[in-house]
Amino acid sequence: MKVPGRSNARRFAGRFIIVLMLAGPCLSHAAIAQDEKAVEGFPTVFQRGITLWSDGTRLSGVLLYPKDRGEDEKSPAIVMCNGWGGTKAFLMRSGIAARFAAAGYVVINYDYRGWGDSDSRLVVRDEMPEPDEDGYVTVKAQAIRDVVDPVDQQQDIDAAISYVYGEPMVDKERIGIWGTSFGGGHVIYRAAHDRRIKCVVAQVGSMPDDRAKRNPAALDGIYKGKSDRARGVADPVPQGGGSPGGLKGTPYWEHILSFAPGQYADRVKVPTLLIDAEKEHYFKIEENSGRVHEILKQNGIPTEYHVLKGKAHYDVYSGECLDDVMKLEIPWFDKYLKTED
């Protein structure tokens, strides 16, 4: 692995800017058209593979958009946020991402760092050598994958929003965000902290408030874990599984237990649709989306809360239940992201 050191950052940045200036004209409509292709099962939707950067890590993504959009047309955008262990491949297989694009949106679908096709988080365990004259070092690094870390994932979500914010096809004033399961909490947190977000949809979302208020003793365990990692007693990044309920990946518990998106509900100022499954088994819906909905309603924020009768957590991803969910979500985005005729 070879990376630039700080001593030559200015020179490296200067060359990077020059390269961007030279490369700019090459990113023509013809080049983009050559890379795009129709989405299987959705002949009216194009897809194009993209690379986006998140805090120095390269993420793999795909843009989806209507085939019949005008060359200079500015469309509303939807940023997808996967759940625990979710990948962009699932949102493609299920047709969820393509359904939004078929409805007239530019959709960004991507893998969090260390998941799917995105690059791994790298940990250098040996001593870092001195950089060479070009500011590079060659090191042996460990690739860390499949870690569920809401801190890293929030950085990746920010990168996805930033990517579409600069996308020529997108109207930057009409960006919505969609999240499912663990990602349902992500979108509440992001909407509370990011003025670029104009509309929210969260389905079967985990969005607890401050856990420490209900269980102050839990903080002792969090702080002990943080201390062990800082002092090198524990691995710098957790690895080895341990996800609950048969879920994939390794949870970064110190970060997860400190991540309480529901406590920021009173800072959300944009229209928010919340959907739960009546037979949810991962959390109590009344303490998550139900609670957030009441706060938004009290604050006068446009909001709807739907509980899918007789449905379980995973039912929302396929079949008739997915059809019913889409009949709620697409009109919600249409109402708040599409300009009136």
pLDDT interval class at 218 (50, 70, 90): confident
Higher-pLDDT residue of 150 and 341 is 150
Cα 152 to chain centroid, rounded: 10
Q: Exposed (0-12), middle (13-18) or buried (19+): which is 133, by Cβ within 10 Å? A: exposed
What is the rounded distance in angstroms from the CA atom of residue 92 to the CA atom of residue 146?
19
Average pLDDT over residues 211-215: 73
* Confidence category of residue 213, pLDDT binned at 50, 70, 90: confident
Per-residue pLDDT at 283 exceeds 80: yes
pLDDT of residue 176 exceeding 70: yes
Q: Left (φ > 0), alpha (ψ -120 to 50) or beta: where does 41 sit?
A: left
Q: The pTM is what? A: 0.89
pLDDT in tens, 124-170: 999 999 999 999 999 999 999 999 999 999 999 999 999 999 999 99
Measured between alpha carbons, how far is 306 from 290 in angstroms, rounded to an integer?
A: 9
Say how far apart CA 247 and CA 224 lie, in whole Å: 25
Q: What is the pLDDT at residue 72?
A: 87
pLDDT digits (tens, 9 = 90+) for 43-79: 999 999 999 999 999 999 999 999 998 888 999 999 9
If DSSP states are collapsed to H, E and C, what string results for 93-153?
HCCHHHHHHHCCCEEEEECCCCCCCCCCEEEECCCCCCCCCCCEEECCEEEECCEECHHHH
Paired with 168 in beta bridges are: none
pLDDT at residue 32 tops 80: no
- Mean of the pLDDT values across residues 262-282? 97
Please state, rounded to an integer, the average pLDDT across all residues of the chain: 90
Strands (E), the chain: 2-4, 37-39, 42-54, 57-66, 75-81, 106-110, 121-124, 136-138, 141-144, 147-148, 170-180, 197-203, 250-251, 272-277, 303-308
Q: Is the pLDDT of residue 310 over 90?
A: yes
| pLDDT tops 50 at residue 31 | yes
The pLDDT, as a whole number, for residue 34 is 61
pLDDT of residue 78: 98
pLDDT (0 to 100) of residue 245 = 84
pLDDT interval class at 278 (50, 70, 90): very high
Do β-strands 37-39 and 42-54 pair in parallel, antiparallel, or remain unpaired?
antiparallel
Q: Which residue has the tokens 């969820």?
A: 96
